[in-house]
């Protein structure tokens, strides 16, 4: 098999579950790294991205609780950069450990990444990106009373979460840096948490209060570095239609036209699977021969061995050589 350039998008919820301590998140990332190193052993060029929804939400709550006139809370864009750094450090450290144990000569580098968005994006007036912990309805009411500037919504049947603006990425500012690193044999960790949201004002990039969806940012990065595969990791091995019903069906090899039909049928939950599906469609549409894969971290070995997972392409898999 020829060398492939692969962007693997890791969800923030895969890093943090119930235990928000640094130790628990570092332990989770050590297990994650054991799966990611399989791509390096396979001879692939690996680029890793990650979410930060739980982490940045928790950080913003901590800052709000301790904010004073002389030590004010930082804006959301800066909090995104802070969690890019902390999660990147943990993941870089974990990958270094498993790479060394595997006897591989590969370096890892975290790139604090700015992602340009449009200042006119309607997302700024319609917050929709869930961040932070899940709350019951009563807990969300308490949080709303404590933080009247925060907006809370029900998130895909899993509880209530704070939502913030989530503009669409139009350019990954450090994409060229990432491409140079991967060409040099380095594993870059990039667009962490969707990247720091910035808008262009002349020669300046200016931060905005938002959190970009990491799947869309990962798609844009994969597009700009000319990746062969965009792999979006989630909690399940496959995307399903009629999910959680007696006639649910796992999607294996599927075209973007078939996926668009399922999107029109509202088959995918807005707060969870829908952005992953939309990002996969965008990448396949905007690349020459690229494919997208949606699967779980635990299923990586099966994907590498026999292509197991939801594989999205422009044309039916049976026509591909």
Least confident piece of the model among 77-81, 96-100, 219-223, 315-319: 315-319
- Active site (annotated) includes residue 13: yes
- Separation between Cα atoms, residue 307 and residue 284, nearest integer Å: 17
Three-class SS state of 243: coil
Look up 129 and say whether it is catalytic.
Answer: yes
Active-site entry in 11, 12, 51, 194 = 12
**In the annotation, is 12 catalytic?**
yes
pTM: 0.91
- 12 falls within a domain: no
Give me the DSSP letters along 81-144: HHHHHHHHHHHHHHHHHHHHHTT---EEEE---EEEE-TT-GGGGS--EEEEEEE-HHHHHHHH
Catalytic annotation, pick one of 129, 132, 194, 309 = 129
Number of domains, the chain: 2
Residues 102 and 214 reside in one and the same domain: yes
Domain boundary among the residues 225, 253, 271 is at 225
Question: Any idea what DSSP says for residue 162?
Answer: E
Question: Is position 57 within any domain?
Answer: no
Residues 201 and 290 in one domain: no
Q: What are phi and psi of 14, to 5 degrees?
A: -75, -20
C-alpha to C-alpha distances, 151 to 34, 129, 164, 272, 317, nearest whole angstrom: 37, 10, 7, 18, 43
Question: Does residue 287 lie in a domain region?
Answer: yes
Is residue 98, in this structure, part of any structural domain at all? yes
Looking at the structure, tell me whether residues 277 and 218 fall in a common domain. Answer: no
Looking at the structure, do residues 177 and 312 belong to the same domain, yes or no?
Answer: no
Q: Which domain holds residue 259?
A: 228-320
pLDDT for 15: 84
pLDDT tens string 269-313: 887 899 999 999 999 999 988 999 999 999 999 999 999 999 999
Active-site choice (88, 194, 276, 309) = 276
- The enclosing domain of 297 has a CATH number of 3.40.1160.10
Q: Are residues 181 and 197 in the same domain?
A: yes
**Tokens standing for 13?**
């919820």
Q: In the prediction, which pLDDT does 70 show?
A: 94
| Cα torsion through 164, 176, 39, 290, rounded to 10 | 80
**Domain identity same for 284 and 232:** yes
Which residue among 214, 220, 271, 309 is the active-site one?
A: 214
Report how far apart, in Å, the C-alpha atoms of 319 and of each of 252, 263, 293, 315 are: 15, 24, 18, 7
Tell whether 128 is covered by a domain: no
Does 23 reside within a domain?
no
Instruction: Give domain status of residue 234, yes or no.
Output: yes
Domain final residue, candidates 186, 204, 225? 225
Task: Report residue 315's pLDDT band, with 50, 70 and 90 as the boundaries.
Answer: confident
Q: Identify whether residues 296 and 247 lie together within a single domain.
A: yes
304 and 182, same structural domain?
no
Separation of CA 44 from chain center: 20
Q: Over range 212-221, report the average pLDDT.
A: 97
Say what the pLDDT of residue 321 is. Answer: 46
Residues 195 and 97 both lie in one domain = yes
As a whole number of angstroms, the distance between CA 176 and CA 191 comes to 13
Is there a catalytic annotation at residue 214? yes
Does 285 share its domain with 253? yes
> Would 21 be classed as within a structural domain?
no
Active site residue 43: no
**Residue 213 and residue 166 in contact, taking contact as beta carbons nearer than 8 Å:** yes
Hey, what are 247's tokens? 């006639």
Residue 146 pLDDT: 87
Instruction: Output the pLDDT for position 317.
Output: 64
């Amino acid at each position: 098999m020829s060398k492939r350039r692969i962007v693997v998008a890791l969800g923030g919820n895969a890093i943090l579950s119930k235990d928000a301590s640094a130790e628990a998140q570092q332990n989770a990332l050590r297990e994650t790294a054991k799966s990611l190193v399989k791509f390096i052993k396979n001879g692939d060029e690996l680029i890793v991205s990650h979410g930060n929804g739980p982490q940045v939400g928790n950080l913003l709550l901590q800052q709000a609780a301790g904010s004073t006139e002389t030590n004010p809370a930082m804006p959301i864009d800066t909090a995104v950069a802070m969690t890019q750094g902390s999660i990147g450090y943990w993941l870089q450290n974990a990958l270094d450990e498993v790479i060394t144990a595997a006897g591989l000569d590969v370096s890892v580098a975290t790139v604090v990444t700015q992602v340009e968005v449009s200042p006119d994006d309607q997302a700024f007036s319609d917050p929709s990106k869930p961040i932070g912990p899940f709350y019951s309805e009563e807990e969300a009411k308490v949080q709303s009373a404590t933080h009247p500037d925060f907006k809370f919504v029900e998130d895909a049947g899993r509880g209530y979460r704070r939502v913030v603006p989530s503009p669409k990425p139009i350019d990954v500012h450090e994409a060229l840096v990432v491409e140079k690193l991967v060409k040099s044999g380095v594993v870059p960790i990039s667009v962490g948490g969707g990247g720091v949201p910035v808008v262009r004002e002349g020669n300046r990039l200016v931060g905005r209060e938002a959190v970009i969806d990491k799947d869309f940012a990962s798609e844009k990065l994969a597009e700009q570095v000319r990746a062969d595969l965009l792999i979006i990791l989630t909690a399940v091995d496959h995307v399903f239609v009629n999910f959680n019903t007696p006639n649910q069906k796992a999607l294996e090899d599927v075209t973007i036209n078939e996926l668009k039909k399922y999107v029109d049928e509202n088959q995918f939950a807005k707060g969870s699977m829908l952005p992953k599906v939309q990002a996969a469609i965008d990448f396949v549409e905007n690349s020459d021969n690229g494919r997208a894969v949606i699967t779980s971290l635990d299923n990586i070995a099966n994907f590498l061995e026999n292509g197991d997972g939801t594989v999205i392409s422009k044309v039916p898999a049976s026509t591909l050589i």
